[in-house]
Structure 1
């Protein structure tokens, strides 16, 4: 007679490796920094006068808090407004990073909402995105050299959207779970 053990308990080593250690690593990378990437110019500027800028929106203690703060800032529509009334800031992308500047989540701003980008699922997918984004940036550099600043800006933005999927491996599962949660109306 042989006795087979059918335990439903996971070994403690597996629990530590799969659940506890990643949570400790994420906790060390808090708070999360929320910023907005966009184009800045003065009223009446030409395409050549636009410059890419990043505006810090704040910090949050959790990914959920960072998403909520980003949504609030975008819905209010006051991102990048300062004392200079002639300065125009066109918000384009929200970026959430950890303390070590690892990407947690990013999304495009359209019509007053954030369209969060789905994080890459694997390192091989990340490599393909890096290659494609590099190609887009190369095309942007060439367009800028020709004086085609509008095309250069559009190509740089496309590259940034691709790179928005390059979530740090430590945050990929968390980001994917957050994007599958139902959103409050």
Structure 2
């Protein structure tokens, strides 16, 4: 009599290493925090007195829920609600961070749509992003036009949204490759 080994049987050590320990480690980094970076002002007509502001939006227990929550808040236009709000706020970048403040996912906001940025695939690609973002910030520092300087800083910040914490890179990349429901 020959006993066949079931494909579903795995040694306990393998289950611990591939399923249990990563899930426990991920649970330590939850909940995920959603924030919006944008330009705030007390008077919409005066660009000179506007300033960059990060507004916390909330927390979610998973990356998928955090993405939905961010999109919902943006589509409803209720980013400006809350104690840290300003009468005039123009959202520019949406960020999802873990409890250790590691970047989980980031995206540029255009026409009330979040364009989630694909995370870097390697440390070499991350170094290229850092170099280019530093170059843009240097240009912003040297320019005398405040609007141009702000735009260069935002271009650098959008590049930096690809600098996802190595722990989250694969999960974020996989999630962005899934087809979105209509």
> Which TM-score band applies after superposition, normalised by the shorter structure?
0.7 to 0.9
Gaps of 5+ in 2: 1-5
Measure how far apart 1:74 and its partner are.
0.8
Q: 1:36 to 1:13 in 2, by over 3 A?
A: same
> TM-score, with normalisation over the residues of structure 1?
0.85
Other-structure match for 2:128: 128
From 150, 157, 171, the counterpart of 1:174? 171
CA distance in 2, matches of 1:125, 1:12: 36
> TM-score, with normalisation over the residues of structure 2?
0.87
CA distance in 2, matches of 1:80, 1:54: 11
Other-structure match for 1:105: 105
Measure how far apart 1:43 and its partner are.
2.2
Other-structure match for 2:161: 164
CA distance in 2, matches of 1:34, 1:86: 18
CA distance in 1, matches of 2:86, 2:37: 19
Gaps of 5+ in 1: 1-6
- Map 1:10-21 to 2 at 5 A: 16-21=16-21
Give CA-to-partner distance per residue, 1:66-119, whole Å, 9 cap, x none: 011001001111212469x98310001110000000000011111121110000
Asked if the contact 1:22/1:170 (under 8 Å) is kept, the reply is no
CA distance in 2, matches of 1:29, 1:10: 27
Q: 1:86 to 1:125 in 2, by over 3 A?
A: closer
Measure how far apart 1:24 and its partner are.
2.0
CA distance in 2, matches of 1:74, 1:24: 31
Other-structure match for 1:35: 35
Q: 1:142 to 1:35 in 2, by over 3 A?
A: same
Asked if the contact 1:134/1:159 (under 8 Å) is kept, the reply is yes
CA distance in 2, matches of 1:82, 1:31: 20
Other-structure match for 1:45: 46
